[in-house]
Amino acid sequence: MCGLLGLVCASENDAVNARPAVGQALRCQRHRGPDETDTWTDGEVVYGFNRLAIIDVEHSHQPLTWGPPENPDRYTINFNGEIYNYLELREELAAEHGAKFATEGDTESIVAAYHHLGPAAVGRLRGMFAFLIWDSERKVVFGARDPFGIKPLYYSAGPGGVAFASEKKSLLELASTLAVAEELDRTALQHYLVLQYVPEPESLHSGIRRIESGTSFTVEPGGEVKTERYFSPEFTAKPVSGPAEVAALHEQIAEVMRDSVAKHMRADVTVGAFLSGGIDSTAIAALAKEHNPNLITFTTGFEREGYSEVDVAAESAAAIGVEHVVRTVSADEMMDTLPLIVWYLDDPVADPALVPLWFIAREARKRVKVVLSGEGSDELFGGYTIYREPLSLAPFEKVPGGVRKLLGKVSSRIPEGTRGKDLLRRGALSLEERYYGNARIFRDDQLRGVLKTFREGVGHGDVTAPWYDLSRGWDPVARMQHVDLFTWLRGDILVKADKVTMANSLELRVPFLDSEVFRVASSIPLDQKITKETTKFALRRALDGIVPAHVLNRRKLGFPVPIRVWLRDEMYDWARGVIADSQTGDLLDKPAVQAMLDEHKSGALDHSRRLWALLVFMLWHGIFIENRIKPEIPEPQYPVKL
């Protein structure tokens, strides 16, 4: 787990001249790898690297050079992530191809696999990764990003070359070197205010984009980035019938989760686990305890009734027999720390849960260097409550199309906040029209009154349509899961997981997002995922006996944050100040935003999530566009080993 930076120039002279700028740009992401920092140049390529040493701590330094006996310096790799099947892969490459290794780490396994298997090697990697491999013989860089988008990879192309980085901040530092634009992308802003995140491959800076999840690419000196999708997930449900087949499915789920957690525990440093009150993190912690009897778990909460899972998490920790650490977060800490967190994010993410996650990551880093977490379970196993919506909206499917449209018009005349308005509105829409992921912040009719640069014709369909096109013929829940893999998961869940933990030089691993786990999960039939009573039905049955009974059928909460009540009370004056100070008047109707805040304070309507999205953007704009807000960035000071 680290921070990489790579620059592919048109000439060797350009690369030599750019090396000091690359070294300076590395400082923006030093938190990703405080253990070692290095730069390297060969031909037209410059690499920079910040290392967080996890496996083969004393060796496996990067950038790492490897090659066959006849050309031992042929390849140089810059790699961020972990390959969990690296031991098996090394053995296979040695046995079948005679590959030789100089370290005990996972980095060599990637470049050796690429040499012997070509681009197909990416499909053999079981892990989280973003990497660049410079082939000095063919004069080409080959790279890839993991199937689910766990690890980030930004890129920017201009007359000065093509640069890749784990954090956008580093590319902004190189903007003058590359001669690329830094303007605000207004289409991406509109998407953000609808979705609460900036969807891939966009960023809020027009000159910077992201390599998409499950994509590999090549770039030659002086050339363009050429991408190819190597992972296209399919939910191919296999019917199961009878007690024996159902039991076999549940056992298969339990076995693959045990195997995934076992491989995710591979490290030469201390591994802990995040623990909320839900089934996902509890399952990961319980399975991790089988490999580390001294496992430490971490949770966070708030001193406000109804907004904390601390008690349930503590009960779970006691039941599975692990040491447990709790970090309570106050409204004052939220307000004081949010600008710093937004700086770490690179692009705004309007998910309040990232703030308590930042605090518990900071607490965990005092005790461990790696944590396991439960992200991805809901997308793979059908865990979101909204996945049950096709059941509740089934009666609308029997209504003729003309009548459904009429119902939609009727719903538009019902006052906001009226019970049943949204159900009627959504029932009048097709799945493709109504579902664009778990976050629904602003509807178009709401956004027109706030966003001055609102563009008709720009909507969620721009983001979701390609993924719906690939899932035609699947059941509606599988289609929703598929959309979430490419939107909510990689746009919100994994961005905050990576950015907030790496801000504290802490590696986060997600055993549910494993290729073998997906292979099993993607075959689960609809009736084993969603029922009228519960979600993740098959997973819950598979984990019976692993997860404590008080958690097994508990509804999902995650890390709930009390912004609804805080924005009416403790955070009102702070929010008012953020709005007043923001220089976003050319983009947002600031009086309308203030009116929303006052309406929320009065209790007339709950605008909390929309307000939070606007406030986070205003802070982001103050940091990255206005250069008015300058958070004090702490220098990471951690030991190599824990």
Domain 2-229 and domain 242-383+486-552, same fold? Reply is no
Cα 513 to Cα 490: distance, rounded to the nearest angstrom: 11
d(CA 78, CA 87): 19
Three-state secondary structure call for residue 403: helix
Whether the pLDDT of residue 554 is over 80: the answer is no
Give the pair of three-digit tokens for residue 596: 């929303």
Q: Which is more confidently placed, 557 or 290?
A: 290
What pLDDT shows up at residue 348? Answer: 98
CB atoms within 10 A of CB 391: 12
Distance CA 629, CA 623 (A): 5
Contact 168, 145 (CB under 8 A): no
Structure tokens at 353: 């849960």
Q: What are phi and psi of 450, to 5 degrees?
A: -120, -40
- In this prediction, residue 306 carries a pLDDT of 65
Q: What percent of the chain has pLDDT over 70?
A: 97
SS3 47: strand
What is the DSSP track for 199-211?
Answer: PTT--SBTT-EEP
What mean pLDDT do residues 33-58 have?
Answer: 94
Would you name the residues annotated as active-site residues? Answer: 2
Q: Which residues participate in the annotated binding site for L-glutamine?
A: 106
DSSP 563-581: HHHHTTTTTHHHHHHHHHH
- The 10 Å CB-count burial string (b at 16+, else e) for 76-111 is bbbbbbbbbbbeebbebbeeeeebeeebbbbbbbbb
pLDDT at 401: 72
Q: Does domain 242-383+486-552 have CATH number 3.40.50.620?
A: yes
Quickly state the pLDDT bin for 412 (edges 50, 70, 90): confident
Homologous superfamily of domain range 2-229: Aminohydrolase, N-terminal nucleophile (Ntn) domain (3.60.20.10)
Task: Return phi, psi of residue 229, to 5°.
Answer: -80, 125
Amino acid letter for position 245:
E
Q: Name the binding residues.
A: 106, 373-374
First to last CA, the chain: 15
pLDDT in tens, 452-468: 999 999 999 999 999 99
Lowest mean pLDDT among 9-13, 100-104, 210-214, 633-637: 633-637
What are the extents of the domains in the chain?
A: 2-229, 242-383+486-552, 388-446+453-477, 563-624
What are the beta bridge partners of residue 164? Answer: 6, 155
Length in residues, the chain: 642
**What distance in Å separates the CA atoms of residue 322 and residue 274, rounded to the nearest whole number?**
12
pLDDT tens figures, 489-508: 999 999 999 999 999 999 99
Is the pLDDT at 420 greater than 80, yes or no? Answer: no
Q: How far is CA 394 from CA 256, 283, 430, 481, 525, in A?
A: 34, 33, 11, 18, 18
Q: State yes or no: pLDDT of 534 exceeds 80.
A: yes
Contact partners, residue 469, CB within 8 Å, separation at least 6: none
Percent of the chain predicted with pLDDT > 90:
83
Residue range 140-188, pLDDT digits in tens: 999 999 999 999 999 999 999 999 999 999 999 999 888 887 899 999 9
d(CA 175, CA 371): 34
The reported pLDDT for the residue numbered 422 is 78
C-alpha torsion angle, residues 497, 502, 508, 513 (rounded to 10): 50
- 3-class DSSP state of 312: helix
* Residue 126 clears pLDDT 90, i.e. is over it: yes
User: H/E element holding 321?
Assistant: none
Per-residue confidence (pLDDT) for residue 8, from 0 to 100: 97
> Helix or strand or coil: residue 167?
coil
Binding-site sequence positions for ATP? 373-374
Q: Where are the alpha helices (DSSP H) in 293-330?
A: 310-320
- With cut-offs at 50, 70 and 90, classify the pLDDT of residue 640: very low
Average pLDDT in the chain: 93
CA distance 66 to 57: 18
CB count, 10 Å around CB of 362?
18
Q: What is the pLDDT of residue 1?
A: 67
Q: How far apart are CA 542 and CA 526, in angstroms?
A: 16
Residue closest to 330 by CA, chosen among 558, 504, 497, 562:
562
Tokens of 342: 């937004």
Which pLDDT band holds residue 558 (cuts at 50, 70, 90)? low
Q: What DSSP designation does 34 have? A: B
DSSP-assigned states of every residue in 428-453: TS-HHHH-S-S-----HHHHTTTBTT
Nearest residue to 267 via CA among 86, 108, 100 = 86
> CA 244 to CA 240: how far, in whole Å?
9
CA–CA gap between residue 541 and residue 522 (Å, rounded) = 17
* Residue with token string 């990697």: 125
